[in-house]
Amino acid sequence: MNEVTNREVLMQSKRRRTFAIISHPDAGKTTLTEKLLLYAGAVSEAGAVKARGSRRRATSDWMAMEQERGISITSTALQFTYKDHVINLLDTPGHRDFSEDTYRVLSAADSAVMVLDTAKGIEAQTLKLFQVCRSRNMPIITFLNKFDRPGKEPIELLDEIEKEIGLIPAPLTWPVGIPGDFKGVVDRRDGNFIRYSRTARGATEAKEEILDPQRASIEEGKYFEQAMEECDLLNGTGANYDSDLFLSGIQTPVFVGSALTNFGVRMLLEAVIELSPSPSARPDYQEVPRPLASPFSGFVFKVQANMDPSHRDHIAFVRVCSGKFERGMNLVHQPSLKPFRTKYAASVFGSERDTIDEAYPGDVIGLVNASDLQIGDTLFEKDEVKYPPIASFAPELFAKVRAKDTGRYKQFKKVIVQLEREGTIQLLYDLKAEGDPIAAAVGEMQFEVLAHRMQAEFGAEIEMTRTPHKLARVTDIDTANLLAGVGGNKVMRRNDGTYLALFESPYWLQRIQGDHPDWKLDTIVAGTTQT
């Protein structure tokens, strides 16, 4: 690239903020996503995609099954502008059954917003999601949501964050009032009080009245005085924001509000811009950082079919890591090293997309009909680069899967492989390539999504029969041959060539490891293989 283009790439990169939103189910993640879009002017009314009977649907929940159940099952990429910044918001599934998809999305984000329900705090079933984020040393901003309803005391929630996740909380706003009788927040940075006001159905921006401490003390009385005493206590314990600790993934700035009624949303959005990092040089698989101004490169973190059912499309989501993307440019696909043409490139907004002509580091581009691309693949223009692969999680549930209508077996085989490439499930095959494949999943809901999509999107109804296996370990062909003579296990192969030994119970695994400590039986934990 020439000097002008280099300068342009660096300037545009500084404008970008690419972050993911993570939470447990029903914490208000999808609602918060909608309200961030509202405040940025990306939608005129929260939940603006309307269905028959004026029933509102979330912009980010585009799949039919998501709209039916009111939960996020897939991840979604949304781009919008706010105050001369370009925001790339990556919405993630809220259920622990889809923690593998969340991990893939986090690989494409530079920071995260963690949403907690003040009534529930950190729940055991989704602690895994937060730990995955924490394991990447990713900067995390915390939003204590639903403070307009009865719930836990904020001090208790701060203790949970520190004890359960290992993050040091640093509140930047602090509630005035109690959960369920919410008056507003104190901004600890300037001491001002921002008064809480409801909006009709939360469909429009909430009005914010800012009062200085003296006036707030007169008008809010004991609630404000109590909040100020708690702020003094926080000051005394050193719970103050430190940019270096935040960017190192050690400390989390905390904001309080209510996404449903829009309170605190603007402050959170501005914190993403002011506190979160812009894109930086991303290390390749040899841990060598690739400068932002290098020729274009990016990696595939998500593949999705049928976002537009009428066109049976196939989109690969690519995080731009370096250089300037221009539609139509010729790229090289890693690992095949074959040329790849980018004629059909789009920016994605929920289920909608617009043709995109250019993109910069931090942006997410959708490459349409890119059926040859898989999760973890790298694309580059010049100066060959390969980014680290995105590892799979260890499956915990297993089921034989076959076509209900044998006459549609060809369709079944084609479609189920496609869904595997999307990361919907993992497929395991007998070493002799005999019989039906085994679908492997991290959680139960993945099987439900598999069955639903096979029938609803492709007309290929399936039957699943659960197997007795409870856990899996990565192995090799030598150990696979040795395991053939031992009970309680079955060795299968993934399409990527990985051998997995499935065990019916921890007893069989522990017995074999005790008798044969030299056999290869490695654990997959949060995307890394450990012996």
Query: Which pLDDT score is estimated for 422?
Result: 85
Cα–Cα distance measured from residue 264 to residue 531, given in angstroms and rounded to the nearest whole number: 45
The token duo for 76 is 């979604």
The token duo for 439 is 């679908």
The residues, any chain, with a CB within 8 Å of residue 319's CB and separated by 6 or more, are 18, 107, 108, 298, 299, 301, 362, 363, 364
Provide mean pLDDT across the span 403-414. Answer: 86
Is the pLDDT assigned to residue 52 strictly greater than 80? no
* Interaxial angle between packed helices 265-275 and 29-39, expressed in degrees from 0 to 180 and rounded to the nearest 10: 80
The token duo for 342 is 């980018």
Query: Which pLDDT score is estimated for 11?
Result: 97
Instruction: Calculate the alpha carbon distances from 246 to 51, 139, 271 in Å.
Output: 41, 6, 12
Residues in the chain: 531
**Tens-place pLDDT, residues 198-234:** 766 666 777 788 999 999 999 988 999 999 999 999 9
Tell me which H or E stretch contains 169: strand 168-171
407 contacts 433 by C-beta, under 8 angstroms: no
Is the pLDDT assigned to residue 72 strictly greater than 80? no
Provide mean pLDDT across the span 15-32. Answer: 89
The token duo for 48 is 């603006």
**Tens-place pLDDT, residues 110-147:** 999 999 999 999 887 667 777 777 778 899 999 999 99
The model carries a pTM of 0.85
Most confident option among 267-281, 411-425, 482-496: 267-281
Strands 499-503 and 489-494, sheet pairing? antiparallel
Cα–Cα distance measured from residue 49 to residue 351, given in angstroms and rounded to the nearest whole number: 10
Please report the domains of the chain, with CATH numbers, ordered by start residue. Answer: 3-72+111-275 (3.40.50.300), 282-380 (3.40.50.300), 397-530 (3.30.70.3280)
The token duo for 387 is 């980014």
105 contacts 22 by C-beta, under 8 angstroms: no
Query: Which pLDDT score is estimated for 433?
Result: 67
Per the model's pLDDT, the better-predicted residue between 362 and 54 turns out to be: 362
